Amino acid sequence: MAEVIIVRNEEEAGEIYGRCVADLIKAKPDAVLGLATGSSPLAAYRALAKIVHEEHIDVSQVRGFALDEYLGLPLDHPESYHSTIHRTVVEPLGLDPEKVHVPGDVLNGTPLEDGDKIAAAGPAYDAAIEAAGGIDVQILGIGTDGHIGFNEPGSSLASGTRVKTLAEQTRIDNARFFDNDINQVPTHCITQGIGTVLKARHLVLLAFGAGKAEAIEETVEGGVSAFCPASALQLHPHATIIIDEEAASRLRHKDYYRYAFAHKPAWQGI
């Protein structure tokens, strides 16, 4: 099962992720990072940027692939994930923007009705990830309904990158990025599938707050089910779940998770 690390706050979680990825880049300068948007990864990106700058780590060869993108938004829309990834990751870390990719980059606002172009984008994105050698570390957030990326409940656990319809709850949750107006939130997206996510060599899922407690309970201690897409992490050989006390509040075995991490040999890392 996944390793569960319970931390005090987002900053502590960010430091754990930042150290892990910084050490990866030192060992593998052309590392491939899987990138996520949303609020959960922000402290992790800040921590990584701080380490990169303080330790003068060369990131010029680092590659990146984002999890998902809204359909119907132009690339320069401030809430497109193309813009968000460049604002929160590429610029703070000093990555080469030509080496960082988002599933909707080739679409750039293509309407949903252009089925041929949109349908081809998913398989092309998976092929690009494979051509880069696969993702070394994929950072993940989790929705209140257990979705990862935009893989809503019911998504195939073997799915590749494809077009999905966003659940109403996801659009409600994301309205905060669109002036709290759900009508501005797109109804469709292109997202890496669960099968694509599971191909990454290391998965790091971050979750904070009581609102994520039920989803974390289902992910960590529930059965593996398409109705909690994040539960697929139980099938991965190297998955790390970093959560605060509130997100961990419904876990039955949280005392063991604390004990195991406290007694983990330092050389193992995460």
Which residues participate in catalysis according to the annotation? Answer: 68, 145, 147, 152
Using DSSP's 3-state secondary structure scheme, residue 103 falls into coil
SS3 of the chain: helix, strand, coil, percent, to 5: 40, 15, 40
Encoded tokens for 198: 């599971």
* Dihedral sign, Cα of residue 95, residue 44, residue 169, residue 121: positive
**Phi, psi angles (nearest 5°) of residue 264:** -75, 135
CA distance 138 to 199: 10
What are the strands of the beta sheet with 63-66, ordered from one edge? 3-7, 239-244, 202-207, 137-140, 32-35, 63-66, 100-101
Q: List the alpha helices (DSSP H) in the chain.
A: 10-27, 42-54, 81-85, 91-93, 115-131, 168-174, 194-198, 213-221, 254-262
CA distance 173 to 102: 21
Q: Which of 1, 3, 6 is nearest to 213 (CA)?
A: 6
